[in-house]
Amino acid sequence: MSGIFITKIKWLIRNPWTFILMTFMSILFALITGGANGTNKITVPAYTELNQIKNSSLAEMIDEKSIFKIDWVTDKRALEKKILSGKHEFGIVFNQDDYDILVGINSPNVVLFENTVKNAYHLDKQFNQLEQASGEENVKEIIENNSFFNVKSQWFHGQDTFLFDGNLHTLFGFSLFFVIYTIAYSVFQILLEKRTGVWDRVILSPVRKWEMYVANFLYSFLIGYVQVVIVFFIFRFIVKVDFHGMFWQTLLLLIPYVLAIVALSIFIIGTVNTIQQFNAVIPIVSVSMAMIGGAFWPLDIVDSTFMLQLSKLIPITYGMEVLYGVTLYGYNLEQILYPVSILLLMTVVLTGLGIHLMERNYIS
């Protein structure tokens, strides 16, 4: 068994292109649709002729205390061009004691931003007055570091509340989607080996048949799991996506999903007879599962009862539920156990059916 497994690894080293392509596609699509900055802040172009405004804590307070992020431009005409082109809803010109908001699209964000800037101006003036009266510099930092009050923020939601994180959803969805191709085409090697006669030659060796299946199963699981782990590591430590403190737990909970996809791929191999059939089935199965299972959009926005019932037969549904549950919903062990158990059940059933079909349909 170890010899077959090592042979598979050597083959992967010599032919890594499917693995590399699917990993790259997972990263690319998650970046494009989810955003590379890991934040949901609204960028507001800003201009000022006063350097002391740029160097003051005014813009810093707006960035820290609100959903807006100030983006300085060097020319007022460039600011106006951004507004007129529709790239931004509005922009702002900072003056010494007041400001001008240039509005391109009149939306509720304009009022919210104006209140944010107004509060920031008031706080900035208060800090300046305190510095003049006390003779101390950096009064803002002194007050924050020596506060008499410790504020702890908490939030709650109802049992059926729909929570959504665009960055996490696209990361989870596309990672679980593209790993289907990587795993399926690794299991596809079994079909190729049977067609080329390699499978027969291995059977004549001292290796037992169950060892052949286990070696292929472990190989497919390994490359699929490594692919998703690489994607998650890149988004956690380079792109800085917030996993809500549950990063290592998500890596552990990926295992049942990857096992289920390996089993599903074995089942598909058992149902097809030719390479052409396999190449036609895999895109249909993977895309339809991603759409029905909630990889491309949350199932919470789906109204069709039939589609929701159909999603319960899809491994991606439970993979997304586990990952979303542990990161956003704070699932405990009992809540996680149900989708994990379904994925493990799928693994056992599909693996058994797939091996049975491969043995029944195989003609040496």
**pLDDT digit of tens for each residue in the chain (364 aa)?**
777 778 788 888 888 888 899 889 888 888 887 654 444 567 888 888 877 777 777 777 777 767 788 888 888 888 888 888 877 888 888 887 788 888 888 777 788 888 888 888 887 777 777 666 766 666 555 555 555 555 554 545 555 555 667 788 889 999 999 999 999 988 888 878 777 777 767 766 677 777 888 888 899 999 999 999 999 999 988 888 888 888 999 999 999 999 999 999 999 988 888 888 888 999 999 999 999 998 888 887 788 889 889 999 999 999 999 998 898 877 888 889 999 999 999 999 999 998 888 888 755 4
Residues in Cβ contact with 83 at an 8 Å cutoff, skipping those fewer than 6 apart: 45, 90, 91, 102, 103, 104
**Predicted pLDDT of residue 284:** 93
For the chain, the C-alpha Rg in angstroms (whole number) is 28
- Report the greatest alpha carbon distance in the chain: 93
CA distance 120 to 112: 12
Name the burial class of residue 281, with classes exposed (0-12), middle (13-18) and buried (19+) by CB atoms within 10 angstroms of its CB.
middle
CA distance 201 to 271: 23
Distance from first CA to last CA of the chain, Å, rounded? 21
**Predicted pLDDT of residue 239:** 84
**Are 47 and 95 contacting, i.e. CB atoms less than 8 angstroms apart?**
no
**Are 173 and 317 contacting, i.e. CB atoms less than 8 angstroms apart?**
no
Single-letter amino acid code for the residue at 286:
S
**Predicted pLDDT of residue 135:** 63
The SS3 assignment for 168 reads helix
Interior/surface letters 82-104, b for 16+ CB within 10 angstroms, e for the rest? bbeeeebbbbbbbeeeebeebeb
Question: Shortest CA distance to 354 belongs to which of 279, 283, 260?
Answer: 260
- For residue 32, what is the enclosing H or E element? helix 17-34
Backbone angles phi, psi at 154, to 5 degrees: -135, 155
Model-wide pTM > 0.75: no
CA distance 104 to 79: 11
CA distance 357 to 191: 12
